Amino acid sequence: MSSASCLLSEKQFLCSICLDLFKDPLTTPCGHNFCKNCITQHWDVNHCSQCPLCKRDCDARPELEINTYIREMVAQFRLKAQQKACGSNSEQQAAKPGEIPCDLCSETKLKALKSCLVCLLFYCETHLEPHLTSPRLKKHQLMEPVENLEEMLCKKHDKTLELFCKTDQTCICCLCSVLVHKSHQFVPLSHQYEAVRVELKKMEPELKKKIQINRLKVQEIKEAIKIVKMLDQHPPTFFLASAFWVSSRCQTFCVALSP
């Protein structure tokens, strides 16, 4: 059985209704396989006994038996996935202070590798696997782990904030662009981010220059305070000789600090 499973892929054991591994697989008279609950609910909802794949009809709902071979193969795939998860857990790093931990790790919280904007959860490498393999979860939007994940979603429509409205200077979702901001000018959020980054990069030399000037002003103020303390410790004659200098320096400081 183990040698046979090596020649088969996990995709061959996915239910075409739920798009997940078979659970209690049943085989229809036409030879197709489905989860027991999936095919039962499909027939109940549609009031028929038709195969969802080939559309073959049965006169009456057939009494289907569990396909033990497929169930055993699926069990082996699940076991293999669990063993792989255990092995990868030992290689992954535990989340350090300041790092975002995985929401699904029960014991040692591993470092989150991605976050899902649909599930609103953080996943380590192991728990991220279903989002990379399951056709249903592949549709979810993944991104780098960030704090306050809920802030990445539109509060009105519960959709990802993907656009930036230049008219209102705010982040919006795709539904906002056609409902609330229909006549406004907007660009992809990534484009706006890049534009702001470039602009800040241009301002960096000037900002550094202003920081240096302010540091010099602070140093001059500290020197003035130091002189005032010295005046308190010397006789009036020293004060009279230094008063004019202190007064002129204070005026200079006030002018320099004024906006």
Q: 3-state SS of 84-112?
A: HHHHHHHHCCECCCCCCECCCCCCCCEEC
User: Domain holding 39: CATH number?
Assistant: 3.30.40.10
Using the 3D structure, point to which of 41, 64, 90 is the last residue of a domain: 90
- Asked if residue 6 belongs to a domain, the reply is yes
Q: Do the domain assignments include residue 137?
A: no
What does the pLDDT read at residue 5? 45
44 occurs within a structural domain: yes
CB within 8 A of 163, min separation 6: which ones?
171, 172, 173, 174, 176, 177, 186, 187, 188, 189
What is the domain range of residue 225?
209-257
- Token pair for 65: 């038996």
Can you spell out the DSSP letters for 166-229? Answer: TTTTEEE-HHHHHHTSTTS-EEEHHHHHHHHHHHHHHHHHHHHHHHHHHHHHHHHHHHHHHHHH
Pairing assessment for the beta strands 142-143 and 186-188 based on DSSP bridges: unpaired
Q: Is residue 228 within 8 Å of residue 245, measured between CB atoms? A: no
Angle between helix 236-257 and helix 189-232 axes, rounded to 10 deg? 170
User: 43 and 36 in contact (C-beta within 8 Å)?
Assistant: no
DSSP 141: P
Could you give the angle at the alpha carbon of 59 between the alpha carbons of 58 and 64, nearest 5°? 50
User: Does 164 reside within a domain?
Assistant: no
Could you tell me if residue 218 is inside a domain?
yes
Q: Which of 57, 90, 123 is the last residue of a domain?
A: 90
Q: Is there a domain that residue 24 lies in?
A: yes
Joined tokens for residue 167: 């008219």
In a domain, 192, yes or no: no
In 3-state terms, what secondary structure has residue 165?
A: strand
Q: Looking at the domain assignment, is residue 248 inside a domain? A: yes
Structurally, the chain folds into a number of domains equal to 2
pLDDT in tens, the chain (259 residues): 444 444 567 778 888 888 888 889 999 888 899 999 999 998 888 888 888 888 888 777 888 888 888 888 888 887 777 666 555 555 567 778 888 899 998 888 888 989 988 888 999 988 998 898 888 888 888 888 888 888 888 888 888 888 999 999 999 988 899 888 888 998 988 888 888 889 989 998 898 888 988 888 888 888 888 877 776 666 555 555 555 566 666 666 665 555 5
Element (H, E) at 71: helix 68-91
